[in-house]
Amino acid sequence: MKILTFDIEDWFHIIQKYPDNILERWSNYEVRIHNGMDRIFKILDDNNLKATFFILGYIARKHPEIVKRIHDLGYEVAAHSDMHKAAYRQKRQEYTQDLTDCINSLENITGEKVLSYRAPGFSIKKENVWVFEVLNELGIKYDASIFPATREDGGFDDFSESKPAIIKYNGTQIKEFPMSVNTVFGQKFTVTGGGYFRSFPYRLMRKIIKNADYTMTYFHPRDFDPKQPMLEGLSLKRKFKSYYNLSKSYRKLKQLVYDFNFIDMRQANTLIDWNNVPIVDLSHYSDNK
C-alpha cells in the first residue's frame, strides 16, 4: 500500500519558534504556493491519481480557492493545524483552539466534516500524547502525525509500528497512518518526503519502496518550486532539509507516481483490515497537560 499525501502550506511555513508578530511577517512574504500547487494538480490529473491534502487553516483563509479546488476535484481535504506551530510547544488549550480554527476554516469552504489530520512537523512526541484526546474531541478519525524515528523537530522514536495501527489513549482510539521509515545501516529514516526524498538516488529509493509493504509520503508545494527564496535564520541542517536538490524533485515525483500505484488515505482506509492491525496503547506515557 502506497499513500500519497501533501502538506499544504507556503514556502515560509517552515516550522520554528514563531515570534509574536508572525502574521505580520508572513504577510510581507511573497505568495508562491500556486507554483507548487499547479504542478501537484497537474501530476494528479495526468496520472488519474487521488491524494490526501493536509491544509493549514491559515492557507484556507488566505487562499480559499485552493481548498475549493482540492475539494471539487474529489481529493481529501484534511487538517494540518491553523498556524503550523509544533504541537509539543503548545499547552492543551492553545492547541485545541488552533486545531478548531483550522477545522472550521476548512469545513466552511467544503461543507464537509474534516476527518484526517497531520500535525505540523510530525510534532506528536511521547511528551504530548494528550493530543490524541483532543483529536477525538474534535472528531478526527485518522491521524498521520507519527514519525516513528528521531527527527530534528518532532518524531516518536519508540513508537513500535511503521505501518497502519490503532492508537489507544485514555479510553480514546484513532486509526494511525504513521510515516513509513526504512532502516539502512541501523539508521531509521524516510525516503518519501523531506530532504531525503530530494537527495536520495532515485534507483535506490525505488528499490526501498518496492520492497516495502507500506509507504507513506509527505510532499509540499514548495518542494516543487525551485525558484523560492531562502528563509532567513535557519540552521545549516534545516537549509539542507528544505532546499537541497529542489530542481530535481518534480521529476522524481513524476517518476515515483509512474512506477508505483498510489492511493489516498480514504481509499487506504477501506482496504485495511483494521481488526488485524497492531494496537498501540500510549496511555502509559506521562502527561504534561
82 binds Zn ion (CB under 5 A): no
Site for Zn ion in 113-142 (CB under 5 A): 120
| Minimum gap (Å) between residue 213 Cβ and Zn ion | 26
| Minimum gap (Å) between residue 63 Cβ and Zn ion | 15
Site for Zn ion in 237-276 (CB under 5 A): none
Cβ–Cβ under 8 Å, residues 77 and 70? yes
Q: How many residues bind Zn ion (CB under 5 A)?
A: 2
| Minimum gap (Å) between residue 11 Cβ and Zn ion | 11
**Residue 114 neighbours by CB under 8 Å, 6+ apart:** 77, 78, 79, 103, 106, 107, 139, 140
Tell me the C-alpha distance between 221 and 224, whole Å: 6
Of the candidate residues 7, 82, 101, 223, the single one contacting Zn ion (CB under 5 A) = 7
Contact window for Zn ion (CB under 5 A) among 5-13, 19-27, 85-93, 139-147: 5-13
Q: 12 or 159: whose CB is closer to Zn ion?
A: 12
Site for Zn ion in 153-212 (CB under 5 A): none
Q: How far is CA 188 from the centre of its chain?
A: 18
| Minimum gap (Å) between residue 275 Cβ and Zn ion | 32
| Minimum gap (Å) between residue 80 Cβ and Zn ion | 6
- Orientation of helix 64-72 relative to helix 92-110, angle to 10°: 60
- The string over 21-59, giving b where at least 16 C-beta atoms fall within 10 Å of a residue's C-beta and e elsewhere, is ebeeebeeeeebbebbbebbbebbeeeeebbbbbbbbbb
Q: 66 or 212: whose CB is closer to Zn ion?
A: 66
Q: 144 or 253: whose CB is closer to Zn ion?
A: 144
| Minimum gap (Å) between residue 49 Cβ and Zn ion | 21
Contact window for Zn ion (CB under 5 A) among 4-12, 66-74, 176-184, 279-287: 4-12
Map grid coordinates 526504512 to a residue: 182
Question: Which residues form the interface with Zn ion (CB under 5 A)?
Answer: 7, 120
